[in-house]
């Protein structure tokens, strides 16, 4: 099949609903897979830049602003985990990890290092497209005003301050750097302080997909968020086994209408 496929009306319809500036950096040494994904995602308005080595991929991610990085784990020169470590030290760009190694430990390590999500190989391109769209919806929400003024109000809960408009988080007056997923998680919990928020609800709102009992993504993102909140992170963000998560409150909450303390 030729490199330039004829554009169908369906493909053109998809393009109308996708931003033309969404550039995705694909770091994967599988040349055939890169070509297939470039063609497939191109139908939906995404511009794909493919790089096939870890070192050059890291350089490309740091040099050029892109909407998302699709990062394979098994790469020549520098593996995907090391690329992610170095990238996270300098950039908050969203990263979707692609892993051909099926062990849960690989996926857990990737999330702990700072991946926004992961997708095991082989995968259905439609599932990849859904994950990409979910991540981009989160990352692009920072540039879009909320529909309701109340959604832009600064949230304050016992030393935590989250500003939806500025996309900033303060802990005891000190700014902490969080990923888009961690920001969305904290926002969901701070909008219901002291209450248990169901895992199904958080998965739909934050990850953009239904919760699966064997999916450890939420647990890993919560774990990273706790570490960033410091010594009291474990106490502040609680896991309610089999139900969901809770932002614990011990003192009175400042200036929030739903700040009642619940045991």
pLDDT at 106 over 70: yes
- What pLDDT, on the 0 to 100 scale, is given for residue 150? 57
More confidently predicted of 31 and 106: 31
Kindly state whether residue 63 falls inside one of the protein's structural domains: yes
The burial class, CB within 10 Å (0-12 / 13-18 / 19+), for 177 is exposed
The one-character DSSP state at 28 is: -
Q: Which residue, among 58, 86, 90, has the nearest Cα to 71 in the 3D structure?
A: 58
Do 101 and 158 lie in one domain? The reply is no
Please check whether residues 215 and 174 belong to one and the same domain.
Answer: yes
Would the pLDDT of 54 be above 80? yes
Write out pLDDT tens, residues 122-180. 899 999 999 999 888 877 765 555 555 556 788 999 889 999 888 899 998 899 988 88
For residue 231, what pLDDT band results from cuts at 50, 70 and 90? confident
Both 200 and 99 in one domain: the answer is no
Query: What pLDDT is stored for residue 253 in this prediction?
Result: 41
Q: What is the mean pLDDT of the chain?
A: 81
Q: Which domain holds residue 235?
A: 149-247
Q: What is the pLDDT of residue 149?
A: 55
Does residue 60 sit in the same domain as residue 166?
no
Burial 198-220 (b: 16+ CB within 10 A, else e): ebeebbeebbbeebeeebebbeb
Query: Are residues 44 and 137 located together in one domain of the fold?
Result: yes
Lowest mean pLDDT among 93-107, 109-123, 219-233: 93-107
Together in a domain, 109 and 153: no
What is the full DSSP assignment across 117-171?
A: EEEESS--HHHHHHHHHHHHHHHHGGGS--SSGGGGSPEEETTEEEETTTTEEEE
Residues 26 and 127 reside in one and the same domain: yes
* Residues 119, 18 share a domain: yes
Number of folded domains in the chain?
2
pLDDT recorded at residue 252: 42
The answer to the question of residue 258 being in a domain is no
Chain centroid to CA 143 = 16
* Whether 135 and 154 share a structural domain: no
Q: Which helix (H) or strand (E) holds 81?
A: helix 80-90
Q: Compute the average pLDDT of residues 52-77.
A: 93
């Amino acid at each position: 099949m030729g490199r330039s496929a004829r554009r169908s009306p369906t493909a053109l319809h998809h393009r109308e609903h996708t931003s033309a500036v969404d550039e995705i950096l694909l770091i994967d040494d599988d040349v055939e897979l890169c070509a297939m994904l470039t063609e497939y995602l191109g139908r939906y308005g995404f511009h794909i830049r493919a790089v096939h080595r870890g070192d050059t991929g890291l350089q490309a991610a740091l040099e050029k602003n892109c909407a998302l990085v699709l990062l394979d784990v098994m790469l020549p020169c520098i593996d995907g985990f090391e690329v992610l470590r170095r990238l996270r030290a300098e950039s908050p760009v969203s990263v979707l990890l692609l892993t051909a190694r099926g062990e849960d430990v690989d996926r857990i390590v990737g999330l702990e290092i700072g991946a926004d999500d992961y997708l095991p190989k082989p995968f259905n391109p439609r599932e990849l497209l859904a994950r990409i769209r979910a991540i981009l919806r989160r990352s692009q929400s920072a540039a879009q005003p909320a529909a309701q003024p109340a959604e832009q109000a600064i949230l304050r809960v016992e030393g935590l301050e989250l500003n939806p408009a500025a996309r900033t988080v303060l802990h005891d007056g000190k700014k902490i750097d969080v990923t888009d997923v961690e920001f969305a998680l904290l926002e969901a919990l701070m909008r219901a302080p002291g209450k248990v928020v169901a895992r199904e609800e958080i998965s739909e709102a934050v990850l953009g997909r239904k919760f699966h009992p064997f999916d450890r993504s939420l647990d890993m993102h919560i774990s990273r968020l706790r570490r960033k909140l410091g010594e009291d992170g474990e106490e502040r963000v609680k896991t309610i086994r089999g139900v969901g998560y809770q932002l614990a409150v011990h003192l009175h909450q400042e200036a929030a209408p739903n700040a009642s303390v619940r045991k």
